[in-house]
Structure 1
Amino acid sequence: MYLDNNATTQVDKRVAEEIMQLFLEDYGNAGSRTHEHGQRAQQIANRARSVIAQTLGSRDDEVVFTSGATEANNIAVLGIAPEGLRTDHRHIVSTSIEHKAVLEPLKRLEDSGFEVDLIQPDQHGRVAAADVLAAVRPDTLLVSVMAANNETGIIQPIEEICAGLVGHEAWLHVDAAQTYGKHSAPLLDRRIDLMSLSAHKVFGPKGVGALIARRRGYRRPPLTPLTVGGGQERGLRPGTLPVPLVAGFARAAELAFEEHAARQAACKKYRADVIAGLAPLNPVLHGEHENCLPHVLNVSLPGLDSEAVMVAWRELIEVSNGSACTSASYEPSHVLAAMGVPKDQVLGALRLSWSHLSPPADWPEAVSRVRALL
């Protein structure tokens, strides 16, 4: 039973069929405009760009395709830095619970002379919009706050932050990898200048995502490309466009928005089943679940180490004990630590994340295996 959908989701069969057709038949380079295969590829890419833009109330030319949300985060955070140097705006506001794909670029900027303020969350895993806004100064270049946390599923106050930044020059970046197609309403606010998306978190293919770079009037966000070598994606992300993946991303997005209500209802029901199934183990739930995505649960089982539980559940239930980006060299969750979760609970924390496609799990067997460890 796969319950690690915050790490990645399975590709929807309808999406996979479209991708394979493009790999095998419409395999042209979208940059080759002198023949039919290239023109057809460009048409497919243009349609995909339009689909992604429409889901967010954006313009087609505000969608920059990337290899995923990690690259989009890096382009947004590191790409805005030269503008900060040019204008002497070297202050950045973010949070201590961001994904490493934001925190590590921020550390690089801090090492090069930028000042970075990281706002702490409350005990429920949510940062206060008032704290974020209070940290903003006249020389603030960038505010970067994730839409929802990848480890806890806790939704962050993006709408309030957008409202509070009206009239301020600071650029606002939102890592929306975990909410796009699942909790998208706050992402429609055009005060969000830069937004990072990932296809494989929404039942699309790995290896593709997007950076939404919205105009302010006629002005585009002043980003400097991190790589050079071509004019693709308005010069921000050079390289041959992976047309099959881009089209698969768009198809996955279409399905996510068309089926949103049914998917949410299924995930809410599954959540109730998970909580009821784990109840005999007296789990400690991390985060305020009125503000949590319906497909995520972060828990600790008293007296148990997360690694031991995952071994006990092997070939029964697949879960994780943190973000997939750090699982190769496990470190205790910086997110739970920032929330003030006791160390023994941090070491015992498990993240369960399901989807509308998840079949029922055998919770009595899961409980039995855990009890055998005690």
Structure 2
Amino acid sequence: MTTYLDMNATSPVLDEVADLVREIFLEEYGNAGSRTHEFGASAKKAVEKARKQVADVVDADKSEVIFTSGATESNNIAILGLKEFGEANNKKHIITTRIEHKAVLEPIEHLEKNGFTVSYLEVDESGAIKPEELKKTLQEDTLLVSIMHVNNETGSIQSVKNICDVLELHEAYLHIDAAQSFGKLSDDLKNDRVDLISASGHKVYAPKGIGALIMRKRGFLKPPLKPIMFGGGQEKGLRPGTLAVPLIAGFGLACEIAQKNAAAWQKHAQKLKNELVRALNTLDAQYNGENTSPFVLNFSVPNINSEAAMVVLKGIAAVSNGSACTSSSYTPSHVLTAMQLDEKRIAGAIRVSWGHMTESLPISEIIEKLEQLKL
């Protein structure tokens, strides 16, 4: 039986979450916007409970949570939603990195085509930005700094604290794409200097199609976002459309479970990672990224191509060689390229990612198959 080791792409839904989602789909199916009967009231109650469960992960207030279809939509609202404010206040400079997800890079590119200027922070083999470079890059008209917390390909963790310290006396809005860390490595996200946080349900054992944008207030002022879609006025006018109550409730429960179990899940994940690293050391593996999440390992084995590796591992382990969102294209990883790795190392890069429900890794089988490719 194949072991699923592509949790950075998506995760299975927890049994408790699936049960709740099913119950609401079949029994508590009211529209949260219907105010005239108990079905609507019950749906609204489920949404507000979930709003608090999501907010609690990062010590936010539930009023600061906007439900979306996932981190991609949250990223788009956070970035494109600041366009009008930036233009009105002559703040049209954005700072980001070369290793962001396309769901951040492409909205920023759209703003760049519409008169904004963008500074891209570089990274080295560690996959981390240098806080001093961020400080040098800040300008008086910097509107937004958008930096991913945990990289989806390498698992490299950016220091949110260092970023917040640099921005302490600057008015720029800080957006963190936390798709890979929300509910797993959430402590850094509790920093009040983080204005906007994007989260995705299907990365934390909730259904696909649900996520959130957390918009922290500065004092009593919320970030000046404008909607990028129109019609209905739901979610404080920022995200119109009938709320997906079953998915929202499932996401909320998943967040509550994740928050309660975060330390144990991290400990188990790190144990699996240590075992895999010890085995891969026998193949002289190179590890892509430093200070990485316990839930992922990106590695290259000299003289082994990742496409060939995925073929021989079929039936043993479901792994990846990059972001699921760009897997249809065979261009070299923009993340590993930005980290200045050589072409062979990039071509050989394999991403293995797991979750708390991964009891063990098929290490001996993986090593055996990779050894065959080295011959």
Partner in structure 2 of residue 141 of structure 1: 143
1:71 to partner: Cα distance? 0.2
Partner in structure 2 of residue 225 of structure 1: 227
Partner in structure 2 of residue 365 of structure 1: 365
SS at match of 1:74: helix
Partners of 2:52 and 2:370 in 1: CA distance? 49
Partner in structure 1 of residue 127 of structure 2: 125
Q: How does 1:18-33 map to 2 (within 5 A)?
A: 18-33=20-35
Partner in structure 1 of residue 246 of structure 2: 244
Partners of 2:236 and 2:74 in 1: CA distance? 14
Q: How does 1:81-100 map to 2 (within 5 A)?
A: 81-100=83-102
Partner in structure 1 of residue 66 of structure 2: 64
CA-to-aligned-CA distance 1:275-328 (integer Å, 9 cap, x gap): 12323322111112xx21111111011111100000000011111000111002
Partner in structure 1 of residue 288 of structure 2: 286
Q: How does 1:147-158 map to 2 (within 5 A)?
A: 147-158=149-160
1:181 and 2:183 are equivalent in the alignment:
yes
Match of 2:15 among 10, 13, 16: 13
Mean CA deviation greater in 31-40 or 50-59? 50-59
SS at match of 1:329: coil
SS at match of 2:4: coil
Partners of 1:51 and 1:362 in 2: CA distance? 35
Q: Which runs of 4+ in 1 moved over 3 A?
A: none
Mean CA deviation greater in 359-368 or 161-170? 359-368
- Structure 2, unmatched stretches of 5+, are none
SS at match of 2:199: strand
Code of the aligned partner of 1:358: T
Partners of 1:94 and 1:189 in 2: CA distance? 19
Q: How does 1:345-360 map to 2 (within 5 A)?
A: 345-360=345-360
CA contact (8 A) 2:96 2:118 kept: yes
CA-to-aligned-CA distance 1:227-263 (integer Å, 9 cap, x gap): 0001100000000000110010010001101111111
Number of aligned residues: 372
Code of the aligned partner of 1:328: S
- Structure 1, unmatched stretches of 5+, are none
Partners of 1:314 and 1:121 in 2: CA distance? 33
Partner in structure 1 of residue 343 of structure 2: 343
Partners of 1:101 and 1:162 in 2: CA distance? 22
Q: What is the root-mean-square deviation in Å for CA atoms of aligned residues?
A: 1.0
Normalising by structure 1, we get a TM-score of: 0.97
Normalising by structure 2, we get a TM-score of: 0.97
SS at match of 2:148: coil
CA-to-aligned-CA distance 1:179-223 (integer Å, 9 cap, x gap): 111111110111111110011111111100000111112211111
Partners of 2:370 and 2:190 in 1: CA distance? 43
